[in-house]
Chains A and B, each alone.
Chain A
Amino acid sequence: MTADASHRKPDMPWIEACTTQDIDEEDLIRFDHDARTFAIYQGPDGTFFCTDGLCTHEDVHLSDGLVMGYVIECPKHNGQFDYRTGEAKRSPACRNLQTYNVRLEGERVLVEIP
């Protein structure tokens, strides 16, 4: 979800993750930061999103998965999530994905990582 910068808390830093050129539309990339791993998406409408990088079913990175519309499908076992909300959409995924706020500064993609 995009967030207004005025809502940011001082202890929630915005981290520069990539540029808008780094991700194709309807696709995702992996972003590692501070021993944590995330997935950053560009939706079919050009909006950017961020979730935890690992599937909640098994520790498989979603960056090898397939984005169709607003759904990411895990590369291993076909669990599906709506990456806008993190909602688990198809078994075996049953726990939701954590999502993070994303905002753009020009071409820079910034993620709010607590």
Chain B
Amino acid sequence: MGVVIVGAGEAGVRAAFALREAGYQGAVTLLSEEPDLPYERPPLSKSPDALRPIAPEEAYRAAGIRLRLGIWVTHVDIGRKRAETSDGPLAYDHLLLATGAEARRLPGFPEAVHLRRRADAGALFARIVPGARLTVLGAGFIGMELAAVARGLGAQVTVLEVGPRILCRAVPAELAALLHARHAGEGVRIVTDAAAAPLPGALRLASGEVIAHDLLVAGVGSVPRTDLAERIGLEIDNGIVVDAGHQTSAPGIFAAGDCCALRQEAGVLRLESWRIARDQGEAAARAMLGLSAVGSVPYFWSDQYDLCLQVVGLPGGAPLASRVLPGGGRMLFEADAEGRLTRAAALGRDNELARDIKLAERLIAAGIAPVAEALADPGISLKSLLGAGTAVAKAT
């Protein structure tokens, strides 16, 4: 008995350690269908050779976490609280589904490869050599990070995007335009509003132009891995539906990370990012033990060339202010109808924006409504608004 965790990405691994940190004494079994020691995924699209374990092997032993690699779950008997695995049955008190997401497949492009796992990255980077012609379908994070790395490796890169601009979904237009210009300056060809038809070793655009490639990569989003959850009858809606405590529709079964969708008043919200997966893993672990979660604000980052993009909060607010960072970077703020900060997004060199993003996260978490002029004034420290702004928030 004890806790069985299905999936050893960030959410699953974090949950296992968080159980111990919270004092859980029972058995913790962490199952991974992949053969590798659980590894960090963000570097896969940022660096051709980095493989970083989430934790060293000794850390699992020291924490009493039973890590089982190359094992997957085929079925769960909810009534008897038993998971059937590829290596026999496992009884559980609590089950956590942390099955992640997989790359969305683009129908009709049989040559397209995807990037999600270590093996994908290895196969892909082996083909990105000087002079290689790389075409990327989709100007999202995977596509744009890969474009930057491939340019650094001397490949010729074309990015095709069906939408009107790069990073359409999660990045404010002003910052996306700055990134677009940087990619163009580095020699990446970006075609937006692009409709492409596959040919052998090439794509034909609507204009008739044919773009030949040696490697075609599709970075067109991800789909949650819900097959097991569907098979055992859990509620699914763009992910395994969970409540604020990461409880699924079946008692004793929790879900966290890319595979889950949080039930909100206005539907469900599925969030994908490294830190959100970790925070959700921790929240699910604590919920199993009847403990409250430590509050967190959604956050993600992206590295392209020497530029770093960081976004904290959720979209939906209205533009409030724009700030120039000391190193020349830009930071944009959005607020809700009451003036409370809802999102901050920044683009700058290396880590110049990290401190201000962390302070923005605290302003958002505290529900502070800062004065727009103060946010826009680089001479005013955001730290000073943490105290001062509270009064504003109380006054509204």
Contact = CB atoms under 8 A, between A and B. Distances in A.
Interface string A88-103: 0001101000000000
A108 interface: no
B351 A75 contact: yes
Secondary structure type dominating chain A contacts:
loop
Nearest to B303: A76
Contacts of A92: 54, 278
Contacts of B55: 94
- Interface of B: prevailing SS: helix
A105 to B, nearest CB: 29
B59 A94 contact: yes
A94 B55 CA distance: 9
Contact of A91 (B14, B299, B352, B359): B14
B160 to A, nearest CB: 31
B14 A76 contact: no
Contact of A61 (B351, B358, B383): B351
B132 interface: no
* Most interface-central of B17, B55, B351, B383 (chain A CB within 10 A): B351
Contacts of B52: 58
Interface string B354-396: 1100110000000000000000000000010000000000000
Interface string A68-111: 00000101111000000000000110100000000000000000
A66 interface: yes
Contact of B351 (A26, A76, A78, A94): A76
A60 B351 contact: yes
A65 interface: yes
Given A58-B52, A64-B354, A91-B278, A76 B59 contact: no
B30 to A, nearest CB: 15
B102 interface: no
A60 B55 CA distance: 18
Task: Choose among B17, B274, B275, B383 the residue with the greatest number of A CB atoms under 10 Å from its CB.
Answer: B383
A100 to B, nearest CB: 23
* Among B14, B17, B54, B355: residue with most chain A CB under 10 A: B355
Contact of A66 (B59, B274, B299, B354): B354
A60 B354 CA distance: 11
Contact of A75 (B59, B278, B354, B383): B354
Interface string B313-350: 00000000000000000000000000000000000001
B301 interface: yes
Given A58-B52, A66-B358, A91 B351 contact: no
A66 B278 contact: no
Interface string B276-301: 00100000000000000000000101
A75 B355 contact: yes
Contacts of B14: 91
B17 A64 contact: no
Contacts of A60: 351
Given A61-B351, A64-B351, A65-B355, 8 more contacts: A64-B352, A64-B354, A64-B355, A76-B351, A78-B299, A78-B358, A91-B278, A94-B59
17 contacts: A26-B383, A61-B351, A64-B350, A64-B351, A64-B352, A64-B354, A65-B354, A65-B355, A66-B355, A73-B358, A75-B354, A75-B358, A76-B301, A76-B351, A77-B274, A91-B14, A91-B278
